[in-house]
Amino acid sequence: MTKIFGDEAEILENTNTLITNLALVSAVTAGIPTLTETGGTVTTDGTEQDVYINATPLGIFNPICFKINCSAHTAGETIILRTYYQEAAGVPARILQNETTYAGLISPELLSIDLDPNRFGVSVTIEKTAGANRAYPWEVFYEM
């Protein structure tokens, strides 16, 4: 007669191996970052305005990109987009990493700014320096 399941010791060993393998798979999948996004609309007012801030990321934080829709922007307008990084825990000062000025018609109208990984935080600002104030829809993608 052929054994289908084996004896009790063999069944117990196979069950323990299966449980161990499931625990390993669970640990790996729990560590996989989850793609997340947030967004909104900022209406310029002539000052440098915070658009996106993550000053105290929880756990592993990998900002991917910031996107802003400039389709309402006209030829007589200028905006400045800036990215800042926080370099230490509990330090409120941000360090400027990049500043880009967009004057006149913007093409393509959807701007995408790559964001670097950072342990302590990142922020993006917009400043309207010429022309009428406008609403700019935006979104950020990041992994947690």
For CA atoms 79, 85, 89, 91, the dihedral sign is negative
Q: What is the pLDDT of residues 11-37, one digit of tens each?
A: 777 777 877 767 666 655 555 667 888
Residue from 83, 33, 44, 64 nearest 140 by CA: 64
pTM: 0.76
Q: What is the pLDDT of residues 83-134, one digit of tens each?
A: 999 887 777 678 999 999 999 999 999 999 999 888 888 999 999 999 999 9
Q: How do the residues of the chain divide into helix, strand and coil, expressed in percent and rounded to 5?
A: 15, 45, 40
Question: What SS3 state is found at 93?
Answer: coil
